[in-house]
A and B are shown apart, each in its own frame.
Chain A
Amino acid sequence: MLKFAVRRVLSTIPVMALVAFLVFSLLYFAPGDPALLFAGDSATPQQIEEVRRNLGLDQSFWVRFGSWLWAVLHGELGVSMISNVPVATLIRQRIEPTLSLMALTLVWAVTAAVPLALISAWKQGTAIDRGIMGFGVFGFSVPIFVLAYCLSYVFAVELRWFPIQGYVPISRGVGPWLNSLALPAFALGTSYVALISRIGRAALIEILQQDYIRTARAKGAAPKEILFDHALKNAAVPIVTVIGIGVGLLIGGAVVTESVFALPGIGRLTADAILRRDYPVIQGVVLLFSFTYMLVNLAVDLIYPLFDPRIRY
């Protein structure tokens, strides 16, 4: 297991290098000249040229890529071309809201989706099943921002149970922290609930038709025992897989959710950086997202043997 984990961690290095190369190339070949924006409206051509030189934009692709990669390997992600704040500082300032949002979303999504999948599979073909699957279709179909606005209107503007915008750090209390994240997490997690519950239901239905389940029933096992001890444990592998894949959805969804609820997270940082052509920030956050995604997939791989002892590394 340890050998596998080390091998997997090492295998992320070429993947990360490829990601870094692609991100750098994409931004290098994107139209537009950041020196023009950086120099300002009243800059003369000489000043623009000086800015271009200072930023190293006059260097060749390979020289620029090489210096950037060298700096990244030394833990330096560069400095924002707009705010002049180091990218690492920007990420550090923004990481807590995003991690909090993702954690809460995952908790709410898994907590809601697994029971829904169980009930739906157990009651297959009934009105309850159709109702849950209807909710699944709803969850997939409604864009996050529409749901976010609806939730915000009802629970924040009308009922005033939750704030409309902003983030309260957990250091100021669990209640305020939870209060500030409840609506964003619900909005972001709904499609995730739909995804996990549908995949979970399909996996459970397949398992509930297996011979060993029939045998358990014939031996008089209680429905609870059949569902939790026999079916759910065997359906866990596809469910865990889809949770891992869904982290990619969460990253994309966080950009929208953080903008609608004005959460100062990485998603908003990404959106702002793209709109301003702040290349060092874009490169930094894309690298971070890629690395996170790979770590999540590694974690998923390592979790498999816990549910299915036949899987060995």
Chain B
Amino acid sequence: MIRRRQFLGGAAALAGASMSYGLTRRASAQDSSKVLKFVPQADLAVVDPFGSPAYVTRNHAMMVYDTLYGVDSNFKAQPQMVEGHTTESDDKIWKMTLRPGQKFHDGEPVLGKDVAASLKRWLGQDSFSQALAPFVDEISAPDDKTVQFRLNKPFPMLPDALGKVNPRSTGIMPERIAAADPTKPITEIIGSGPFRYVAAERVAGSLNVYEKFADYIPRSEAADNLAGGKVVHFDRVEWHTIPDPATAAAALQAGEIDWWEQPTPDLLQAFTGNSDIRVAVTDKTGNLGILRFNFLQKPFDNPQIRKILLNVVRQSDFLIAAVGEDPSMWQAPVGIFHPNAELASTEGLETFTKTPDLEKAKADLIAAGYKGERVVIISTGDYPVIGAFSEVAADLFRKVGLNVDLQVQDWATVAQRMKNKGDLDSGGYSVYCNFIAGAAIYNTAGYSYLRSNADKAFDGWPDIPEIEVLRAEWLSSTNAAERPEIGRKIQQIALEKVPFVPLGLFYYPTAYRSDLTGMLDAMPLFWNVRRA
């Protein structure tokens, strides 16, 4: 029988072993210099590169899958997997030649047929490919080194579509995977990108592991966003999902993790004065705040009412509530497109900076036909930015006399309700706030919130045919000089008919250990980064 002293001695030895391990662990932390520990903005729930519009899935896909083209920091498509391309028949046939020596992670060579099958699977999956699809008659592989697009009309943005940053990857995978039933998710994650996904080590909801792909041949150009040489300096990258922001902040401070993609604004001050941690805005394209009306519900089926409400929005009010008063963390006024995009215009932006006349707006709303209908704003506390936007919107709407019902729920419920076309009594809604990545608003192709094709449009279902006509004009435009004018016209109509109200651009800083260098000014990319 165990004696009391033996028991106490054993317990003390266990406690000692545990604490002494804790102390030695600190000393051995430096041994893992070839491992990068990263905390993504959200859990990587879906590893199928086509399976989710989530940015975290996009970031995963960029590591594992290489793309034919990649946009540089000016959002110009540059060759990535291809050596180059030629066009024939008035730009209706594109022939793209693959770089030699490219391999998949299973050791098989990358061939034209793999590329054709992958792109056929992608076509129609997102708004950019949906824009491209009507132009495509055939995607084929005339030989192992070539992939060919046969179009029925010229589509000058083809390389941009293939090298886009938006979710739903254009990544290339083996034909045997790409050609499988498109209604079933991809479960075998094999690409030809600079990192190999280690599926055996995945703990769904907690850990995802990537290893450097030794057979990857980077381009010789310097890395620049998704373009250039993807040179990897870490043997292994681990994505650790840490659901609690305070725990993630503490883990970064203690050196248990190297990089936290999206620290919450309230915890940033914890890093102030800590020379071991650097806080920077690497994704300088930011995010555009969105206030979306439901066109199917009264009173927002009325364009006059939407326009009156747009005119009382002062973007800085929303941005300060969302990310604080530091003006380096936001930009206003901002229109429909990203301020750096060729389509950007300053047309009508003065409305977003002036002090609104709320009494006049109140009277105008009644004159426009507002009869006190209930306005349901659906919001969530899971994303503080969305919560803040919604609070400001609710306050503003109440001040102009709307009968506001602000309903705060978890994000999964809000995401489901956003798709509900029913009336307010059957779970429908009037308004929601959200945001969209700045990289997605450089042009009209992948811009889901701008689509205005009624019931086929994104949640909110705006019906504005003029925007659709201009979008089609832009897609087939071969004259770069005319595109800014198309952008100006789209903005003019958007500020009049209001598919949504732009709430300004804000930035998410990222936080990382200061011994990391070479981080690119882009979304989280894991090539070029090294430990000093």
Chain A residues close to B by CB (< 8 Å): 31-33, 36-37, 40-42, 44-45, 50, 54, 80, 82-85, 90, 93-94, 111, 149, 152-153, 156-157, 160-166, 173-176, 178-179, 182, 259-262, 264, 268-269, 271-272, 275-277
Contact = CB atoms under 8 A, between A and B. Distances in A.
Contact of A165 (B43, B183, B242, B412): B242
A165 to B, nearest CB: 5
Contact of B22 (A149, A179, A272): A179
Given A42-B126, A179-B18, A262 B241 contact: yes
B416 interface: yes
B254 A157 contact: yes
B53 A163 contact: no
B274 to A, nearest CB: 12
A153 B253 CA distance: 11
Interface string B240-269: 111110111011011010000000000000
Contacts of A82: 45-46
B458 interface: yes
B203 A94 contact: yes
Given A37-B415, A157-B250, A164-B247, A179 B25 contact: yes
Given A41-B458, A156-B254, A174-B14, A268 B205 contact: yes
5 contacts: A54-B183, A165-B247, A176-B21, A178-B18, A262-B243
Contacts of A269: 205
A175 B183 contact: no
A276 B243 CA distance: 13
Contacts of A262: 206, 240-244, 247, 251
Contacts of B246: 149, 260
A179 B127 CA distance: 49
B220 interface: no
Contact of A160 (B22, B168, B205, B419): B22
Interface string B200-225: 00011111000000000000000000
B511 to A, nearest CB: 15
Contact of B456 (A44, A93, A182): A44
Interface of B: 11, 14-15, 17-23, 25-26, 43, 45-48, 51-53, 125-127, 130, 168, 183, 185, 187, 203-207, 240-244, 246-248, 250-251, 253-254, 256, 382, 410-413, 415-417, 419, 427, 448, 455-456, 458-459
Given A41-B458, A54-B183, A174 B243 contact: no
A42 B14 contact: no
B124 to A, nearest CB: 9
A93 B22 CA distance: 25
Contact of B205 (A37, A83, A157): A83
Contacts of A111: 11
A-B pairs, top 4 by smallest CB distance, nearest first, are: A264-B206, A175-B21, A178-B18, A32-B416
A156 B416 contact: no
B256 A80 contact: no
B478 to A, nearest CB: 27
A41 B53 contact: yes
A36 B448 contact: no
A207 B99 CA distance: 85
A208 B362 CA distance: 76
A179 B20 CA distance: 9
B25 to A, nearest CB: 7
Contacts of A272: 43, 205, 243
Contact of A90 (B14, B17, B204): B204
A37 B420 CA distance: 12
A261 B247 contact: yes
Nearest to A256: B244
Contacts of A179: 18-19, 21-22, 25
A165 B251 contact: yes
Contacts of B47: 83
B254 A164 contact: yes
Contact of A178 (B17, B53, B207): B17
A72 B130 CA distance: 40
Given A84-B185, A259-B243, A175 B20 contact: yes
A41 B448 contact: yes
Contacts of A44: 456
Contacts of B415: 36-37
A157 B242 CA distance: 16
Given A40-B52, A156-B254, A275-B411, A268 B247 contact: no
A277 B448 contact: no
Contacts of A156: 250, 254
A149 B205 CA distance: 22
Residue from A41, A259, A264, A269 having most chain B Cβ neighbours under 10 A: A41
A31 B22 contact: no
Contact of B254 (A31, A160, A260, A271): A160
A178 B412 contact: no
Contacts of A162: 18-19, 22
B23 A50 contact: no
A225 B15 CA distance: 30
A164 B251 CA distance: 6
Contact of B53 (A42, A84, A164): A42
Nearest to B411: A275
Given A42-B127, A152-B250, A262-B244, A80 B204 contact: yes
B440 to A, nearest CB: 12
Given A36-B419, A152-B250, A163 B256 contact: yes
A42 B125 contact: yes
A83 B48 CA distance: 9
Given A41-B458, A157-B250, A93 B244 contact: no
A153 to B, nearest CB: 7
Nearest to B255: A160
B130 to A, nearest CB: 7
Given A31-B413, A32-B417, A83-B205, 17 more contacts: A42-B125, A54-B183, A83-B46, A90-B205, A153-B250, A156-B254, A157-B250, A160-B254, A163-B25, A164-B250, A174-B14, A174-B17, A182-B15, A262-B247, A275-B382, A275-B410, A275-B411
B177 to A, nearest CB: 14
A102 to B, nearest CB: 17
A160 B240 contact: no
